[in-house]
Amino acid sequence: MTSIRQAVEDYLAVRRALGYKLEDHGWLLADFASFLEAAGAATVTTSLALAWATQPENVLPSWHAARLRVVRGFACHLQALDPATEVPAAGLLAGRNRRAVPYLYSQADITALMAATSSLRPALHAATHNTVIGLLAVTGCRLGEVIRLDRADLDTAEGIVTIRDSKFAKSRQIPLHPSTLAALAKYAQIRGRHCPRPSTPALLVSTAGTRLISQGVQYVFARLARQAGLRPRSPACRPRIHDFRHSVAVSTLLGWYRDGLDVQAMLPVLSTFLGHSKPANTYWYLSAVPELLALAAERRQTGLGVRP
């Protein structure tokens, strides 16, 4: 292992020991280390950081800025050990983070995505990605949470799955519908036939019997979305894995409004279900979706005695 790669490993170990997940930092910094090695560079310079961060060209400027922020954090750490390290200035690349417009999946969209997994080979590969999509669609979990699930986290007797030590170091339990439990039992049979001795305790495994990695799942999902006929609704609204989470939140809120429930009182329940650090983070959905905003406004007008 080269010194720059060792420095990357040390940096990630220190940050993760402090409680940071850094799921994307690992592969991004590994790629940056490869870039430095190819350039014959022994340390970080601003020009090299910019050259790497602005790849590829056909992406949003915010992604270039995000890549440079990852390098800046690493460079700050490395400069304490190697004074020759240059730390790129903050704000060197313009690209303010903006929330993407949620791509809300219909039941037909989800059915089409799950059907598209039948084209994957071998059978375990197809079953794993079918199960990933199904779990995301019914639980509203983050992709990283689903990937980190171990077989021991699934309690079939109680019908719950435990999400452990997720974002903000929070854990939670999610109840599962009997149909979801049946689907997981079917997946376990396929996993047992094709991978009887996996090298990981993970609930969902790759064809090699290892835990899934997020970039691999993202790559397969992009292919499935195209095959299922899902297309961007606007430049800011493209089918993403994270939008299963938005879809669960929005459909839950819509259901509560239509059933006449006190949404304000119920919101902490949804916040806990999604693993938000506080209910205020869940309020974003009320303004992100026009139909929800209209229902909220109608409820307020009714409460004030105003005819909508």
Catalytic residue check, 167: yes
Question: Which residue among the candidates 21, 242, 283, 299 is catalytic per the annotation?
Answer: 242
In this structure, what token pair is assigned to residue 231? 């297309």
| DSSP secondary structure, 81-139, as one string | T-TT---PPTTSS-----PPPP-PPPHHHHHHHHHHGGGSSSHHHHHHHHHHHHHHHHH
Catalytic residue check, 242: yes
In this structure, what token pair is assigned to residue 249? 């939140």
Catalytic residue check, 276: yes
Catalytic residue check, 246: no
First to last CA, the chain: 67
In this structure, what token pair is assigned to residue 122? 């071998």
Cis amide prior to 56 (ω within 30 degrees):
yes
Catalytic residue check, 233: no
Query: Please, which residues have CB within 8 angstroms of residue 280's CB and are 6 or more apart in sequence?
Result: none
Question: Which residue among the candidates 67, 72, 245, 246 is catalytic per the annotation?
Answer: 245
Question: Which residue among the candidates 16, 20, 167, 233 is catalytic per the annotation?
Answer: 167
Catalytic residue check, 193: no
Question: Which residue among the candidates 67, 69, 72, 142 is catalytic per the annotation?
Answer: 142
Query: Please, which residues have CB within 8 angstroms of residue 16's CB and are 6 or more apart in sequence?
Result: 22
Of 241, 230, 238, 269, nearest in space to 253 by CA:
269
Question: Which residues belong to the active site?
Answer: 142, 167, 242, 245, 276, 285
